[in-house]
Structure 1
Amino acid sequence: MDIRIKLLLVLVLFIHVLLASGQNQDIVYLQALMDNLKNTPPSWVGSDPCEDKWDGITCTDSRVTSITLASINLSGEISGDIGQLSELQMLDLSYNKGLTGSLTSDIGNLNKLSSLILVGCGFNGPLPDSLGSLPQLSYLALNSNGFTGRIPPSIGKLTKLYWLDIADNKLSGSIPVSDGPTPGLDLLVNAKHFHFGKNQLSGEIPPQLFSSKMTLKHVLFEDNQLTGTIPSTLGLVQTLEVLRLDRNQLSGDVPSNINNLTLINQLFLSNNKLDGPLPNLTGMAVLNYLDMSNNSFIASKIPPWFSSLQSLTTLMMQEIGLQGEVPVEFFSIPQLDTVVLRDNKLNGTLDFGASYSNHLRLIDMSNNNILGFTQRSGYPKNLILTGNPICTENARESFCEHSTESNSTYSTPPNNCIPATCGLYQVSSPNCKCSYPYTGTLVFRAPSISDLGNSTIFTSLQSSMMTSFEMHKLPVDSVSLGNPTKNADDYLDLTLNIFPSGDERFNRTGITRIAFMLSNQTYKPPHAFGPYFFIADNYDSFSGGPKRRHKSMSIGAIIGVSVGGCVLVLFVVIAGIYAYHQKGRAERAIIKNSPFASWDPDKGSGGRPQLKGARSFTFEELKACTNNFSAAANVGSGGYGMVYRGSLPNGQLVAIKRAQHGSTQGGLEFKTEIELLSRVHHKNLVSLVGFCFDAGEQMLVYEFIVNGTLKDSLSGRTGIRLDWMRRLKITLGAARGLQYLHELADPPIIHRDVKSTNILLDERLNAKVSDFGLSKPLGEGDQTHVTTQVKGTMGYMDPEYYMTQQLTEKSDVYSFGIVMLELITARNPIEKGKYIVRQVKEAMDTEKDLHNLREVLDPILSLSTEQLQGLERFVDVALRCVQETGNRRPKMSDVVKEIENIMEMAGINPDAESTSTSESYEGKSKGNNHPYLNDFSYSGGLLPADLEAK
């Protein structure tokens, strides 16, 4: 008996040594990396970064899976030892300007790396060809360094690449495309972002680079040395939203099919040598910003199709040979803000007409041949006509005085308080607290904003940023913006100060989390600001003591221990297998009978979830139905974590939302959603199939909804074209789902985050309300409201709830009214600093056909030949839903009746099931978006969030 006990003790000891040897392989290489770096975090003490919880190091099963060390003043070089961390999935070293040297080719050994982010460092030298050996890479951001040489053609092998940003380096040579066995960037059909600006790229833009298979949203090639013509194949990429080809040496005609790019918001063709006719941009219904200045187009009059660009806010057309008079209707474009037509040959009398845009702020027509000006009351005060004949005799008129537009001096004002007097290096925050802010510059690469004196747009940006920080539970008290400047590249620069909460300084963990949110584009600015990047200043005010030096075990000693341990364990490992198997069986039985046995109520999530009928899955079951959570099963990522498509043994397709370890969305939202969805069942609510709370995992298992979110369809991302009949059906379905929650659930449930991204469309485009992580039960009896912390999504949030913190069913009604307005306009609730409710009200005229709303309607509806029967009543219902106070809003049951009546008026049976699938509406959903991904809400979410939202 004594011998058996001794053998058992030896077995336990050897198994421990075996586990230690598996850990040591990463410890060895991480400590070797550390030897080449300076200013590593003070927490980097001890011999095991996983057990000792080194800042910025994340481990899974004692293997290093993530290194996020952005903006902590690291310096030195990254050695080839990085390539030995075989389980590494995330590497972010951004904003460490002291990191120099070339990028080691050993980086190509990281077969599981999905994100490589090195923004704003000091790296140089060529990009290694081994970058093409990273099969899982989806996010590659190397911008704002000093990389030289050519773009490696091997990048074309990265079939999962979504984001490619190599801008602001010193890269040269041509853009590589495939040639036989040699790969090229034309193979990146899943990429959404090509950011190549501010390099030294040369040669022609290869026609092969673009095709109808590509799904690009941003093509940014500005400020290079590209020559030749713009390839006509560019017109095949109909997903494009931003195109910058300016500041190159392009020549010839602009392709006639460029107006196929109907989703373009910002188009920059300026400062080239284009010499054909002005391109006809008819059909670009959502174009906001157009700059074709400083080219050699064939002299022509201002073409009539300009006035068809009804979304245009900024037009830059200086020095392109325009001649003749400026048409009166040109100034009636409703959102037109800035017009620059200087240095042309325009003549005649300038007349804005009686119905010019009330948004006009700047009109610069200096250095033309304008002879007269028909003055009308209220004409834009910033009118510049210097250098025209009219100013020969009218030199004292305000429009003949020399005027140059200066950059704004805007800065975020105090939040109803008196700024504090602070000590050296401290700054008073908007909340008038002295602290040491994290600072840097936000750079927007293609803004549609021209009016830098409009404080509203910057307030919107500040609000959206603060909302995002709160959503991800970052230690931020407030943010301030200042000194908006348009630089020589037509970028918009803004200084950014981020102030800590709870302390006057940030610690390293807080800084790296905030920096990561900006480096990997988790934060999404309002649409008008366009693509951006952030360059951080050094932060020298970390909380905590000075860096402690540590002694690490020698590499040779660690390797010796590891090898010796492995040899000894080989003698006893077989004996351990049986014990491990028995233990696994026991653990699985416990999980099956009591899935929440390990639930910790002390983590802020309350008691164990109380469920009614939801199925409990083990980790192994979900692992099997997703092929070990393979990349092929991954359909997206969001604030909560990854989403996988799976197939249960019975053939049912499911969507599995898997929280990342340490998710800040946490147990409370997980508990809320499974408790609520396990007891509510309605055809217009997404169904919960089950959950997993096993092996340290939190997963929610839903029915799989194939056509994504309503937002995706309205924005054109899915390729589904929604006609008026289908929009009415979707409205009714979503309204019935909310009516069920409010009136038939026991107790009633307030959703609290109704928005177009939380309304899903199944294969027949039936609406299903989803995402109950923020929902609240109303309680028993006559309770009419719940007093609770404000959470939700800006733009959809009930203002009465926001002010009083009293959540009611009418809060959902308000949000639903915003969704109804989205359904007819396809606009964001807040767009270009303008609120959708105000835009609709300002456009309305109840005495005219369709309430005179054609100018704000979704172009798909306004250009449709179908009769929009009931539109006026639909708008009336929506506006009643968004009344300021809840007592003036209808109940959801009243909304349901109204929509049913509208449908009957239009000859549609509201209770008829649709017999057509989404394929009847111009294509099924495409891409990797998935409906279960949260975005832009006050709570929930773990970095990195869904990149597609960008």
Structure 2
Amino acid sequence: MDSRILVCLLLISSQILGILALTDSNDLAALNAIKSSWSNLPPNWKGSDPCGSSWGGINCTDSRVTSIMLAGIGVEGSEFSDISSLSELQLLDLSNNIGLKGILPSSIGKLKKLSTLILVGCSFYGPIPDAIGSLDQLVFLSLNNNSLSGPIPSSIGNLTRLSWLDLSYNKLSDTIPVASATASGLDMLSNARHFHLSNNLLSGSIPDQLFSSNMKLIHTIFDHNQLSGNIPSTLGSVKTLEIIRLDWNFFDGSVPPNLSNLTNMNELYLSNNKFTGNMPNLTGMNFLHYVDLSNNSFDASGVPQWITSLQSLTTLMMENTQLQGQIPVDFFRLPQLETVVLSNNNVSGVLNIGNSYRNNLTLDLRNNSITDFMQKTDYNMELTLVNNPICNTKGATSKYCTVEKHHNTVFPSNNCMATSCSRDKVLSPNCGCSHPYTGTLHFFSFSFSDLQNLTYVTTLNGALMSVFLSNGLPVDSVVSANPTVDIYNYLQFSLQIFPSGQDSFNQTSISTIGFLLNRQPFQLQYYGPFFFIDEPYCCFAGSKKSSNAGIIIGVAVGCSVLVLLIIFAGIYAFFQYRKAKRASERNDPFASWDSKKGSGSVPQLQGAKGFSFEDLRKCTDNFSESKCIGSGGYGKVYKGAISSGQLVAIKRAQQGSMQGASEFKTEIELMSRIHHKNVVSLVGFCYDQGEQMLVYEYISNGTLRDSLSGKIGFRLDWNRRLKIALDAARGLSYLHELANPPIIHRDIKSNNILLDDHFNAKVADFGLSKLMGDTGKGYVTTQVKGTLGYMDPEYYMTQQLTEKSDVYSFGVVMLELITAKAPIEHGKHIVRAVQEAMGDPIGSENLDKILDPAMGLGSEVGGLKKFVNLAMSCVGESAADRPTMGEVVREIENILDSAPANKKMDTKFSRSSYEEANDESPLHSHDTEVFDVSYGSFPFHVEHQYAN
């Protein structure tokens, strides 16, 4: 009897489900196909009625699926043709899912009702299909931060409703398409407001017909391409334009004089091109905030008078533009002025800044011809006059004749002094502990340059908070912090969004937040357009069903299986307990480890010792500031002596930067296996009392960066630089070729190459390292992490990490060795600087332009040209064309062997042989700011080093 009742209930339940089903059968089939080919989809993708059951990220209208919003939830898959069956789909947002990869199918052209397509920060590659031009309802198209290649389809010109076109940060090549007798072109997009094509491989000139007076463009962002020729004069006819970015291309000729007709212009970037002729006259651009004309070859001229008329101006960048003469004193009276960079010109005479300038003004006049300064003892601004004649006169002061160090910009603080959170949670400004959704905002342009000004960050936080709340999102607070300008001159903010009323966000909230940030249905004061790249979210909260139909279905199904639930309740509870216990042990690999007994689930270490917190506290005098020898985003480094008497450097992670237990265990196991004379040794570690500390051998002479900058008071000659290069190359070669499994360092830089008492070089800091493993592909797909200036561009774009990524970074270090320059100085990368100085083909007569004078030699020294050629091969654009580290070692050995002078070099030199300076050089001596930045869909840890 009981079995007949149960069968009856099940039959009734199935009938109820059939009656209540709301989803069109074709749409259901398409979603089930997606479900079977993708992974990490929302957990409530169950049952046979996505619309009625409110599947996560699926929105319906009258039984038809009209939107899919799955941004930022970790979806993975490579099959996309099934989406084309959703014929009523209007919105598709799959942004910030690194695991979505493959070629965009031509069948996407079947989505005739699609109005919004957002695929920001995924892993798509190959060409953009021509069929995209069939989406004639499309208003918003954002495909940036992928690896798309080939030409821009001319068919995009058919999208007459399109307002937003963003194809930035891809590998698109060829020319910008315009209409012809047989094809469409971007000039047909008369309703477009945004052209974002930056950071691609576009070439050729900009066609005259691309722009016309009937267009509605406000943003033309074409920077960091390979565009050449003249700027078309037709650009000056688009009166609606507010932002133009044409910087970092190969444009030449004169700047069209009719650009002054663009009276709505806010930001103008024309730097790092080959412009000639007269300096453009910007008179009449009364709303202009930000101007960058640097590094062009304009005709020599006096400082233009129009700069005194731009009442809205905050930032003027005119480095290396052949300016001469005096700066008019009226210029410093501009009410909004924040930053002026006129370095590397011939500005001369007496500098007079008057007494009406803003107190937060920064004025950089390095490398000019200024002979005197009227207010030299009574001024209040950040002023730099290094390498001007005035700095060689009596009475000159270090206040303006040295480069001031930049200050950390970490906003904002809170008033929660008495509140602390557990290790896996973060304290919000409202003093609650929760799991914030984090990522990075990348602004294509911005109207200010004073990153210390709290007004700008407060405005940003308030505007975002207002947007989230007005859309019904459970957001408690927003924190945007660590503003920095990256190598592409984009402003970046790290972003934390805290949940309200719960510890974490559910998947629907995360997707909605991501959609709002990348769709940008709002405006921000002071800021231009942007894109958002997130960090994978740690801990989604359980989703809640809200539809009445879902409740009815739940009740029906619940009645059907009630008997079974009662029978299996006890069994289920027992297995849940076992599962929770196993999960707890997995999450804490040291849970059963007794370091004193040396038994249990211990880390598999080879030579490294476990220290207690008390051990390390004693040897650092309770972690006193007097023992602190360095700091960074991870925490601080302390010098101490352990019980054996050995000097060590103790790297203590701060609460916000600690790894999970599994990751920490993996790292110490990895580092304990590395044994090579050119790799810093791990002495031990501490995993005690909630602390994570790594104990290294103490390296007395600090970093290679310290030596090159003269910080340790000792000059490195050519022979010693060669030996340092060889040591570091051998250390890297060991990691790549002899370690088992091979190790990719991922953060090679001069600050991570340490010098011991005898100036032997050792590779250090394995916090970002990756095991190569046996992928069978020759690369590891991973989040992009590294340091600006050293990062392999190919890894940056493809997220495919190989040993050749380390080779690129090492090539940058080699260029540092011969130039002593930081990787990025004055907005120019060291590779480009060397290329420009060397010319093509490389000629030794040009080497003198880039050599570090501290070496005290000329370009004819033995092996120098070979060394430069080797460095340039290491920083080749394609990883396949770069040598291996083993080949680099052999080539440097050949250079040492082939130069007679080098054969006699003495490699055994000790600290006692030179001036005692900084006798407590840290293991990691950083003059840096630490930021969390992103490229593509990959967050990475960046230490931004300021050039001294």
Shorter-chain TM-score: what band? 0.5 to 0.7
Letter in 2 for 1:305: W
Task: Pick closer, same or farther for the CA change 1:254–1:154 going to 2, 3 Å.
Answer: same
Deviations 1:258-315 (A, max 9, x none): 0000000000000000011101111100000000000000000012122111111100
Instruction: Indicate the residue corresponding to 2:205 in structure 1.
Output: 204
Letter in 2 for 1:320: T
Deviations 1:739-790 (A, max 9, x none): xxxxxxxxxxxxxxxxxxxxxxxxxxxxxxxxxxxxxxxxxxxxxxxxxxxx
User: Matched residues in 2 for 1:399 and 1:383: separation?
Assistant: 8
The correspondence of residues 294-309 of structure 1 with structure 2, limited to 5 A, is 294-309=295-310
Deviations 1:197-238 (A, max 9, x none): 111111101111000011100000011110001100000000
Instruction: Indicate the residue corresponding to 1:172 in structure 2.
Output: 173
Instruction: Indicate the residue corresponding to 2:618 in structure 1.
Output: none
Letter in 2 for 1:312: L
Instruction: Indicate the residue corresponding to 1:576 in structure 2.
Output: none
Task: Pick closer, same or farther for the CA change 1:196–1:404 going to 2, 3 Å.
Answer: farther
Cα pair 1:363 1:380 within 8 Å, conserved: no
Letter in 1 for 2:48: S
Instruction: Indicate the residue corresponding to 2:529 in structure 1.
Output: 531
User: Matched residues in 1 for 2:242 and 2:488: separation?
Assistant: 19
Q: Aligned-pair distance for 1:244? A: 0.3
Q: Aligned-pair distance for 1:400? A: 3.5
User: Matched residues in 2 for 1:103 and 1:379: separation?
Assistant: 59
Matched, 1:66 2:93: no
Letter in 2 for 1:539: Y
Letter in 2 for 1:410: V
User: Matched residues in 1 for 2:461 and 2:266: separation?
Assistant: 22
The correspondence of residues 95-106 of structure 1 with structure 2, limited to 5 A, is 95-106=96-107
User: Matched residues in 2 for 1:391 and 1:419: separation?
Assistant: 50
The correspondence of residues 424-443 of structure 1 with structure 2, limited to 5 A, is 424-443=423-442
The correspondence of residues 726-765 of structure 1 with structure 2, limited to 5 A, is none
Instruction: Indicate the residue corresponding to 1:400 in structure 2.
Output: 400
Deviations 1:4-58 (A, max 9, x none): xxxxxxxxx9999899798111100111112111101001000121111101001
Task: Pick closer, same or farther for the CA change 1:366–1:514 going to 2, 3 Å.
Answer: same
Q: Aligned-pair distance for 1:360? A: 4.9
User: Matched residues in 1 for 2:337 and 2:469: separation?
Assistant: 34
Instruction: Indicate the residue corresponding to 2:164 in structure 1.
Output: 163
User: Matched residues in 1 for 2:350 and 2:399: separation?
Assistant: 14
Letter in 1 for 2:363: I
Instruction: Indicate the residue corresponding to 2:51 in structure 1.
Output: 50
Cα pair 1:219 1:244 within 8 Å, conserved: yes
The correspondence of residues 249-398 of structure 1 with structure 2, limited to 5 A, is 249-354=250-355, 356-375=356-375, 379-394=379-394, 397-398=397-398
User: Matched residues in 1 for 2:320 and 2:527: separation?
Assistant: 26
Task: Pick closer, same or farther for the CA change 1:545–1:189 going to 2, 3 Å.
Answer: closer
Instruction: Indicate the residue corresponding to 1:519 in structure 2.
Output: 518
Q: Aligned-pair distance for 1:378? A: 5.5
Instruction: Indicate the residue corresponding to 2:938 in structure 1.
Output: none
Instruction: Indicate the residue corresponding to 1:872 in structure 2.
Output: none
Q: Aligned-pair distance for 1:525? A: 2.3
Letter in 1 for 2:413: P
Task: Pick closer, same or farther for the CA change 1:308–1:381 going to 2, 3 Å.
Answer: closer
User: Matched residues in 2 for 1:339 and 1:233: separation?
Assistant: 30
RMSD of Structure 2 on Structure 1 (CA): 2.2
Deviations 1:368-388 (A, max 9, x none): 000001017753431100100
Q: Aligned-pair distance for 1:487? A: 0.8
Letter in 1 for 2:431: C
Task: Name the SS of the counterpart of 2:250 in structure 1.
Answer: coil
Task: Pick closer, same or farther for the CA change 1:381–1:49 going to 2, 3 Å.
Answer: same
Letter in 2 for 1:495: S
Instruction: Indicate the residue corresponding to 1:566 in structure 2.
Output: none
Task: Pick closer, same or farther for the CA change 1:489–1:394 going to 2, 3 Å.
Answer: farther
Instruction: Indicate the residue corresponding to 1:40 in structure 2.
Output: 41
User: Matched residues in 2 for 1:495 and 1:395: separation?
Assistant: 44
Cα pair 2:506 2:543 within 8 Å, conserved: no
Deviates more, 1:261-270 or 1:462-471: 462-471
Cα pair 1:407 1:485 within 8 Å, conserved: no
Which ranges of structure 1 fall in alignment gaps of 5 or more residues?
1-12, 547-950
User: Matched residues in 2 for 1:462 and 1:206: separation?
Assistant: 40
Task: Name the SS of the counterpart of 1:533 in structure 2.
Answer: strand
Dislocated runs of 4+, deviation >3 Å: 13-22, 398-401
Cα pair 1:408 1:484 within 8 Å, conserved: no
User: Matched residues in 2 for 1:313 and 1:207: separation?
Assistant: 31
User: Matched residues in 2 for 1:230 and 1:512: separation?
Assistant: 40
Cα pair 2:359 2:381 within 8 Å, conserved: no
User: Matched residues in 2 for 1:21 and 1:513: separation?
Assistant: 23
Cα pair 1:368 1:387 within 8 Å, conserved: yes
Task: Pick closer, same or farther for the CA change 1:239–1:393 going to 2, 3 Å.
Answer: same
Instruction: Indicate the residue corresponding to 1:736 in structure 2.
Output: none
Matched, 1:246 2:247: yes
User: Matched residues in 1 for 2:376 and 2:385: separation?
Assistant: 16
Task: Name the SS of the counterpart of 1:483 in structure 2.
Answer: strand
Cα pair 2:21 2:49 within 8 Å, conserved: no
Task: Pick closer, same or farther for the CA change 1:294–1:284 going to 2, 3 Å.
Answer: same
Instruction: Indicate the residue corresponding to 1:233 in structure 2.
Output: 234
Letter in 2 for 1:533: F
Task: Pick closer, same or farther for the CA change 1:14–1:366 going to 2, 3 Å.
Answer: closer
Task: Name the SS of the counterpart of 1:35 in structure 2.
Answer: helix
Q: Aligned-pair distance for 1:405? A: 5.3
Letter in 2 for 1:482: A
User: Matched residues in 2 for 1:215 and 1:252: separation?
Assistant: 27
The TM-score, its normalising length taken from structure 1, stands at: 0.54
Instruction: Indicate the residue corresponding to 1:125 in structure 2.
Output: 126
User: Matched residues in 1 for 2:407 and 2:57: separation?
Assistant: 39
User: Matched residues in 2 for 1:442 and 1:502: separation?
Assistant: 25
User: Matched residues in 2 for 1:480 and 1:381: separation?
Assistant: 29
Task: Pick closer, same or farther for the CA change 1:545–1:142 going to 2, 3 Å.
Answer: closer
Cα pair 1:153 1:183 within 8 Å, conserved: yes
Instruction: Indicate the residue corresponding to 2:77 in structure 1.
Output: 76
User: Matched residues in 1 for 2:450 and 2:27: separation?
Assistant: 53
Letter in 2 for 1:365: L
Cα pair 2:51 2:58 within 8 Å, conserved: yes
- Give identity over the alignment, percent: 51
Q: Aligned-pair distance for 1:402? A: 2.1
Which ranges of structure 2 fall in alignment gaps of 5 or more residues?
1-13, 545-948
Cα pair 1:225 1:248 within 8 Å, conserved: yes
Cα pair 1:407 1:484 within 8 Å, conserved: no
Deviations 1:65-102 (A, max 9, x none): 00001011001124211111100000000111111001
Cα pair 2:329 2:353 within 8 Å, conserved: yes
User: Matched residues in 1 for 2:81 and 2:142: separation?
Assistant: 20
User: Matched residues in 1 for 2:493 and 2:321: separation?
Assistant: 30
Task: Name the SS of the counterpart of 2:340 in structure 1.
Answer: strand
The correspondence of residues 325-724 of structure 1 with structure 2, limited to 5 A, is 325-354=326-355, 356-375=356-375, 379-394=379-394, 397-404=397-404, 406=406, 408-414=408-414, 416-418=415-417, 420-526=419-525, 528-544=526-542
Cα pair 1:335 1:359 within 8 Å, conserved: no
Deviations 1:626-660 (A, max 9, x none): xxxxxxxxxxxxxxxxxxxxxxxxxxxxxxxxxxx
Task: Name the SS of the counterpart of 1:123 in structure 2.
Answer: strand
Instruction: Indicate the residue corresponding to 1:912 in structure 2.
Output: none
Task: Pick closer, same or farther for the CA change 1:17–1:41 going to 2, 3 Å.
Answer: closer
User: Matched residues in 1 for 2:333 and 2:533: separation?
Assistant: 39
Cα pair 2:292 2:316 within 8 Å, conserved: yes
Cα pair 2:142 2:166 within 8 Å, conserved: yes
Deviations 1:413-439 (A, max 9, x none): 11x432632223211111111111100
Task: Name the SS of the counterpart of 2:330 in structure 1.
Answer: helix
Task: Name the SS of the counterpart of 2:102 in structure 1.
Answer: coil
Matched, 1:183 2:184: yes
Letter in 1 for 2:412: T
Task: Pick closer, same or farther for the CA change 1:358–1:80 going to 2, 3 Å.
Answer: same
Cα pair 1:171 1:201 within 8 Å, conserved: yes
The TM-score, its normalising length taken from structure 2, stands at: 0.54
Task: Name the SS of the counterpart of 1:226 in structure 2.
Answer: strand
User: Matched residues in 2 for 1:146 and 1:268: separation?
Assistant: 25
Q: Aligned-pair distance for 1:440? A: 0.1
